[in-house]
Amino acid sequence: MSVRAGTLVAVPGRVSRRRREALTGIGLLLPSVALVLAFTIFPVGYNVWLGFYAKHSLRATSAWVGLGNYTHILADPDFWRSVWLATVYAVASTALQIVVGVAGALILHRRFAGCDFLRGVALFPYMIPTVIAVFVWRWLMNDLYGVIPYVLSALRIPGMPEAWLTHSTIMWVLIVLSVWTFFPFVLVNVLARLQTIPLELYDAARVDGASALRQFVHVTLPQLRNVLLIVLLLRGIWMFTKFDVPWLLGFGGGAGEAIRTLPVFTYQRSFTYYQAGMGAALSNVMLALLLMAVTIYFVAFPPEADETDG
């Protein structure tokens, strides 16, 4: 009876303590919630709201147009061309980054003389500022004094163009430049995963008579699956929304129209033609396209519940 009485006496104290702990937890979360609202939710919400207005980028006046910006965008052939160019650029550069990054990681995974030095050199393109990398490549590919066109013309390869920074070839230059700049991201992630694969798996495969190719297909690739899927998702999003590399490479040289991807097209609408409402609508469309692509991605590649090493 005395125990029950003590319990009854202690209940208000426990309730008060839990309430204080709950209030403390809510107080600690408030700064994070405020930051998310200020820097994520509000900009997205404001951009969605701005997409329904015809607004000049440098003037405070605006006019409600409803879905007018979106109907104009969907009827604009330049918009669809920019979507196509952004898709080609993102798919080709991401695929080649993964191929080059995985190949480089497989080579650098093995220990040999100078391995640590080469691992450092492989990261070099990723550490160079984008503006420097782009201008170096513009110099290397210049039609008059570029080193690469001179070497390719000296080799006399059939079908090789004489000029590379033209409307018909600048997309190839953009893709190669992007692969060279960003493949170290893939290399580092894949190399880190390779170093955690148990060697017993390869020993068992060799005991079963598996060749090097079959070991790669049946041991290495399954172990790299989750890393490659994350790399594919991140690099695909980043390349589709990439603005600085196409802008710096193409615009100012005369062939920018051939690599006017969707982010560049959106920038031009907002800051070249001063159509802030149209630019906001284009940004919203780009976000919707990315959400659709990410949804398809997760349906096609559902995440595994647990990654096993066996």
- 3-state SS of 241-283 is CCCHHHHHHHCCCCCHHHHCCHHHHHHHHHHHCCEHHHHHHHH
pLDDT value at position 309? 47
Residue with structure tokens 């650098």?
108
Determine the Cα–Cα distance for residues 127 and 197; give it in Å rounded to an integer. Answer: 28
Which tens digits make up the pLDDT trace of 163-181? 888 888 999 999 999 999 9
Nearest C-alpha neighbor of 98 from the set 172, 216, 188, 213: 188
Alpha-carbon separation of residue 192 from 99, 102, 119, 125, 204 (angstroms): 16, 11, 12, 19, 22
DSSP strand pairing (53-55 vs 62-64): antiparallel
Beta-bridge mates of residue 54: 63
pLDDT value at position 303? 74
All residue ranges of the chain with pLDDT < 50 are: 1-3, 5, 308-310
**119-122 contacts, C-beta under 8 A, 24 or more apart:** 119/191, 122/184, 122/187
Tokens of 265: 């097209």
Average pLDDT, the chain: 88
How much is the pTM? 0.85
Alpha-carbon separation of residue 290 from 68, 210, 255, 283 (angstroms): 22, 41, 27, 11
Which tens digits make up the pLDDT trace of 176-226? 999 999 999 999 999 999 999 999 999 999 998 889 899 999 999 999 999
Determine the Cα–Cα distance for residues 162 and 150; give it in Å rounded to an integer. Answer: 9
| Residues making up the chain, counted from first to last | 310
